[in-house]
Amino acid sequence: MLTTTSTLGQQGQQDWPAAFLDDFESKIWLTYRSSFPLIPKSSDPNAASAMTLGVRIRSQLVDSQGFTTDTGWGCMIRSGQSLLANALAILFLGRDWRRGTKIREESNLLSLFADDPKAPFSIHRFVEHGASACGKYPGEWFGPSATARCIQALSSECKHVGLNVYVTSDGSDVYEDRFRAIASGGGTRTGIHPTLILLGIRLGIDRVTPVYWEALKAVLKYSQSVGIAGGRPSSSHYFIGAQGSHFFYLDPHHTRPALPYHPPNGQPFSDEELTTYHTRRLRRLHIKDMDPSMLIGFLIRDEDDWQSWKRNVQDVSGKAIIHVFDKETSPFGGHGSERESAVDEVEVLDDDDDDDDDGDDCDERLDGDGSIGDDVGDSSSFLHISKK
């Protein structure tokens, strides 16, 4: 999705090309928000135990009736929103779109994610669907699979965006017959129409197993990539590029004022509001420090994209993390033995797997400026690249 080469300047500092920084800054970055319309708490007596201690205390201090901020629990939802927003940006604005152009079109796109129940992809809608279909309480941390199911359901309801969503049911396995059925859009339509592929997978136990490193790095280099959501224990980032063994990411752990809802083609958002959805600050994480559970996204726009994507996943170096089969067969026959061999350590994520990561408040490890621990700093110091 976002790749670059760079050189070391004087005193070993990084020289980043302006074109790369402009590209990075144009990626849409959704973060925690505050002072949005109330998300009511669940009346279920088990709801409180599903929340972290920090979230329970914060909700009692701010508003005992519900949540007006997602600080401390909404980072996976925000990462998933970022993945979806950047997929839609490619469709609506083009891959070469840069910040500062097409202001009205960008405003129309962001209005879909406004922090208001009227917005089709708002955090309110994610929480509502998460509660009804995924067993997630308001204020409870989402995992990759719940986030994927919300994206699929909300995209289906918001038909005017024209995006189909294929969520894998077998982790790393993609079945062409089922994909084509979804990508056609149903009815009398044929062929492949814009479709977002979402793979919720686990690539190890506590860390990404090294045999998958090369394949995971390759994922972000595909032209169809729209990034990776997840990737840090009990927390989530949105990874959009790779250089060597480091992954560039956007960090949702910053709390900003809620974005109000603007109807389509209404008044554009102000420059101040739009600025909160972009950053020029580079952050990165070594692959060895990533959590193995993640949500990987690809945007397939047409038949050419599909064929190119299939070639990419089949020709990957190292142990493959994605497998494409012609047809989805019965677990009691067909290519069952082939699937077991192919999947190996790649596991499908379900809601129980999501719950395994619910132990910590996902913003407790933040430094004062919102950075995560010691792994980030300014762009001249935290990138470690050898001279060639």
What are the tens digits of pLDDT across the range 45-63? 665 656 565 665 666 655 6
* One-character DSSP codes across 260-324: PP--TTSSPPPHHHHHTT------EEEGGGS-SEEEEEEEE-SHHHHHHHHHHHHS-SSS-S-EE
pLDDT value of position 360:
45
Identify the segments of the chain with pLDDT beneath 70.
2-14, 42-63, 170, 187-188, 232-234, 330-388
Return d(Cα 28, Cα 276) in angstroms, integer.
Answer: 9
By annotation, the residues acting in catalysis are 75, 251, 253
pLDDT value of position 318:
85
Please say whether the beta carbons of 243 and 3 come within 8 A.
yes
pLDDT value of position 297:
98
pLDDT value of position 235:
82
Predicted TM-score of the model (pTM): 0.84
pLDDT value of position 1:
75
